[in-house]
Amino acid sequence: MKSFLCGLTLLLAGQAWAQGPVITQANLESVTVYSTGVEMNHKAKIAVPAGSSEILINNVANVLDENSIRIGAGANVTIMSVSFTRDYLKQENRTPAYLRVEDSLKSARRGLSRLEAAYNAEQNALKILEKNQAIGGANTGVNVAELAKMVDYNKAKQVELSNNMIAIAEKQAEQQKIVARLEQQLAEESRDRSGAGGQLLVQVMAGSAASSEFNISYISPNAGWTAFYDLRAENTNSNLKILYKANLVQNTGLDWKKVKLTLSTGNPAQSGNAPQLQAWMLRYGSPAYYANQSAYQNRIQAKSSVTRAIEGAAPGIQVETSAAEDRSLSNYTALVENQLSTTFDVELPYDIASNDKPHSVSLKEYSLPVRYKYYAVPKADPDAFLMAEVSQYEKLNLLPGEANIILENMYVGKSYLNPYATTDTLNLSMGRDKKITIKREKVMEQSGVKLLGSTKKQTFTYEIRLRNGKREAVSLLLKDQYPVATDNNMEVELLEASGAEINKETGVLTWKLDLAPGATQTVRISYSVKYPKDKVISNL
């Protein structure tokens, strides 16, 4: 009797497995998007049979980290195992737009093939005609009249065939352009991977049949976001408005429909192991030099905290909210500072297509009191740049990213915001101002070369003329430089600097100028370099 019951149990279990898995769909509820990677959270209502069974959950990401899968179910259900799989027998999802472009491309390629066939037919006819031109020399019985007719026929036919080939070649070129454009559009449409998700095969054990809610979460690498900004200023007397946005891209195979978004500055793939130091072994090698020292030399020198205290501390950061902004998307975003990261919880549900294209998400909007100044390095660029100095910027939780600049309600270009500067003031470039003209010219009569025994002395003199074409006074930070000797046989002497602040280590000269409306000002820099006359300084 006991063996009969065991056999019956095995038979029933085999019948349960033979029935196949329970198939269901997972509903995407929320996502947490990291700079690289996304945590996706689903829910599924599943009728679980009693005993052991398999559940096949569709509508999950096309690629995921299996070690990150977490599934919770009711108290009556025990999760035995979970595995990720793909249904390779299912046809690849193609959107209606993809199918329309694909049909157009097939038709265009057929048209191109027909043109190529027509061109080849005309070309072959021309070759046959050219071979038959020898008939007059091979058949001596052809009289002059027949030969003349044959020449006229060949000539007319050659012209006709050549013209046909030219016309067909022109049509081929146009058709090839159409095919190329359709191929490019098809490649664009193929980026839409919606409907190409994966599956989770879950083995469960249930004490009794019941309907249970499954909570599913995992990490997928096929999503991420970067920060970008709009920098707006009405004029140089107004506050600077920073619209903090996210460029979000996802290619998980699922279109996110009305999901709750959370954006995090953390990295789910970052190792949690604390670093350890190894022995630091010194070795001889070639000296290393900075590839672009001018980037360091021309860097804006931010005011120190001591200087700012003397001049008076800048007012603190304020977040302004006007009546018009109360409909602003940024008011539906909550910023949460965690121990190791910052998250933006977006209350409004979003639709994000799985097409590997950037989607803009508004996060926060700040209105900041700033100091405006102009900055120019005419040796490197002839234009003046408007700069905005922001204090206490670390409170804004900004990330590096591109910024659109809108000045006086006009788009003036792009900049780059880097909040990881080591200074206590963030300098934001607000673009070029053509109303401030700067011209740097070499003064030839005060420049030249002299030979002094075994040495050569070169003198350089430059004049920088500035004009303020604006209706208001401006403060301008002007920079130039003179060379720095790197050898005992070199001797550099600064002859004139027009009152500039001098950094002898870097050779950078700095002028702080105040220009009245319509005013002009001139500064001059002059220096000499003495070195052995049998040497050549390549970068002088």
Residue pLDDT, tens place only, 49-93: 999 999 999 989 988 999 999 999 988 899 999 999 876 545 455
How confident is the model over 259-272, as a mean pLDDT? 81
Q: What is the DSSP letter of 165?
A: H
How confident is the model over 158-182, as a mean pLDDT? 87
Give yes or no for a contact between 219 and 69, defined as CB atoms under 8 angstroms apart: no
Take residue 295 and report the two structure tokens written for it. Answer: 């980037």
Could you read off the pLDDT of 379-429 as tens digits, one per residue?
999 999 988 888 878 778 888 889 998 888 888 888 888 888 767 788 888
Q: What pairing do the DSSP bridges indicate for beta strands 210-220 and 65-72?
A: antiparallel
Q: In angstroms, what CA-CA distances link 285 with 281, 291, 292? A: 13, 18, 21
Distance (Å, whole) CA 335 – CA 9: 56
The pLDDT > 70 percentage for the chain reads 80
3-state SS, 35-87, equals: CCCEEEEEEEEEEECCEEEEEEEEEECCCCEEEEEEEECCCCEEEEEEEEECC
Residue 364 clears pLDDT 70, i.e. is over it: yes
Give yes or no for a contact between 354 and 194, defined as CB atoms under 8 angstroms apart: yes
Q: Is 101 left (phi over 0), alpha (psi -120 to 50) or beta?
A: alpha
Distance (Å, whole) CA 460 – CA 462: 7
pLDDT band of 285, cuts 50, 70, 90: low
pLDDT of residue 513: 94
How confident is the model over 152-171, as a mean pLDDT? 85
How confident is the model over 131-156, as a mean pLDDT? 67
Residue 322 clears pLDDT 60, i.e. is over it: no
Residue 329 clears pLDDT 80, i.e. is over it: no
Lowest pLDDT segment from 11-20, 38-47, 73-82: 11-20
How confident is the model over 96-111, as a mean pLDDT? 83
437 CB burial (10 A radius; 0-12, 13-18, 19+): middle
Give yes or no for a contact between 490 and 478, defined as CB atoms under 8 angstroms apart: no
Per-residue DSSP letters for 303-317?
PPHHHHHHH-PPPPP
Give yes or no for a contact between 464 and 440, defined as CB atoms under 8 angstroms apart: yes
Sign of CA dihedral 392, 397, 401, 403: negative
Q: Check: pTM over 0.85? Answer yes or no.
A: no
Residue 149 clears pLDDT 90, i.e. is over it: no
pLDDT band of 118, cuts 50, 70, 90: confident
Take residue 142 and report the two structure tokens written for it. Answer: 């052809």
Residues in the chain, total: 540
Buried b (16+ CB within 10 A) or exposed e, 460-499: bbbbbebbbebeeebebbbbbbbeeeeeeebebebeebbe
Give yes or no for a contact between 158 and 126, defined as CB atoms under 8 angstroms apart: yes
Could you read off the pLDDT of 493-514 as tens digits, one per residue?
999 999 999 999 999 999 999 9
Angle, vertex CA 333, rays to CA 327 and CA 338, nearest 5: 160
Q: What is the DSSP letter of 354?
A: S
Residue 331 clears pLDDT 80, i.e. is over it: no
Distance (Å, whole) CA 385 – CA 431: 5
